[in-house]
Amino acid sequence: MRKINKILVANRGEIAVRIMRTCREMDIASVAVFSDADRTSMHVRYADEAYYIGPAPSKESYLRADKIIEVAIKSKADAIHPGYGFLSENSEFARLCAENNIIFIGPSPEVIVKMGDKIQARKAMIAAGVPVVPGTTEAISSEDEALKTIAEIGLPVMIKASAGGGGKGMRLVKEESGIVSSVRGARSEALAAFNDDAVYIEKYVSSPHHIEFQVLGDQHGNVIHLFERECSIQRRHQKMVEETPSPLMTVDLREKMGQDAVNAAKAVKYVGAGTIEFLVDNNLNYYFLEMNTRLQVEHPITERVTGVDLVKQQILVAEGHELLLKQDELRQKGHAIECRIYAEDSDNNFMPSAGRIHNITEPLGLGVRTDGYVYEGYEIPIHYDPMISKLIVWANNREEAIQRMRRALYEYKITGVKTSIKFLERIMDSSDFREGNYDTNYIEKNKEMLLSTEKCDIVTQDMVIIATYIDYINRLNKVIPTKQLNPVENRWKKYSYQKNFDRL
Residue ranges of E strands in 187-270: 199-203, 209-217, 223-235, 238-244
Separation of first and last alpha carbons in the chain = 64
Task: Give the footprint of ligand MV4 on residues 387-406 (CB under 6 A).
Answer: none
Does 271 contact ligand MV4 by CB under 6 A?
no
Is residue 294 annotated as part of the catalytic site, yes or no?
yes
Contact between 167 and ligand MV4 by CB under 6 A: the answer reads: yes
- Choose between 15 and 289: whose C-beta lies nearer to ligand MV4: 289
- Please choose, from the candidates 231, 224, 310, the residue with its C-alpha nearest in 3D space to the C-alpha of residue 265: 224
| Residue with smaller CB distance to ligand MV4, 35 or 136 | 136
Strand partners, 9: 32, 81
210 binds ligand MV4 (CB under 6 A): yes
Strand partners, 272: 217
Minimum Å gap between C-beta 168 and ligand MV4 is 8
Encode 339-406 in three state secondary structure. Answer: EEEECEEHHHCCEECCEECCEEECCCCCCEEEEECCCCCCEECCCCCCEEEEEEEEECCHHHHHHHHH
432 membership: H or E segment, kind and range:
helix 431-434
SS3 446: coil
**Under 8 Å between Cβ of 276 and 261:** yes
Binder to ligand MV4 among 82, 85, 208, 245 (CB under 6 A)?
Answer: 208
- The residue among 167 and 436 lying less far from ligand MV4, judged by its C-beta, is 167
**Least CB distance to ligand MV4 at residue 410 (A):** 28
Q: Applying CB under 6 A, which of residues 75, 219, 234, 359 lies at the interface with ligand MV4?
A: 234
Contact 88, 294 (CB under 8 A): yes
Amino acid at 2: R
The minimum distance between CB 201 and ligand MV4, in angstroms, equals 9
Handedness of CA 289, 112, 71, 67 (dihedral sign): negative
Spell out, one character per residue from 279 to 298, where the chain touches ligand MV4: x when CB under 6 A holds, - when not.
x---------xx--------
Binds ligand MV4 (CB under 6 A): choice among 77, 205, 280, 308: 205
Least separation in angstroms between CB 12 and ligand MV4: 25
Stretch that binds ligand MV4, among 181-189, 203-211, 342-350, 361-369 (CB under 6 A): 203-211
Residue 133 is a binding residue for ligand MV4 (CB under 6 A):
yes
Catalytic hit among 171, 229, 294, 404: 294
The secondary structure of residue 417, as a DSSP letter, is: S
Candidates 6-14, 83-91, 202-210, 396-404; binding stretch for ligand MV4 (CB under 6 A): 202-210
Is residue 166 close enough to count as binding ligand MV4 by CB under 6 A? yes
Residue type, 434: R
Q: Give the residue numbers annotated as catalytic, written as ranges.
A: 294
Q: Which residues contribute to the site for ligand MV4 (CB under 6 A)?
A: 133, 158, 165-167, 202-205, 208, 210, 234, 237, 279, 289-290, 440
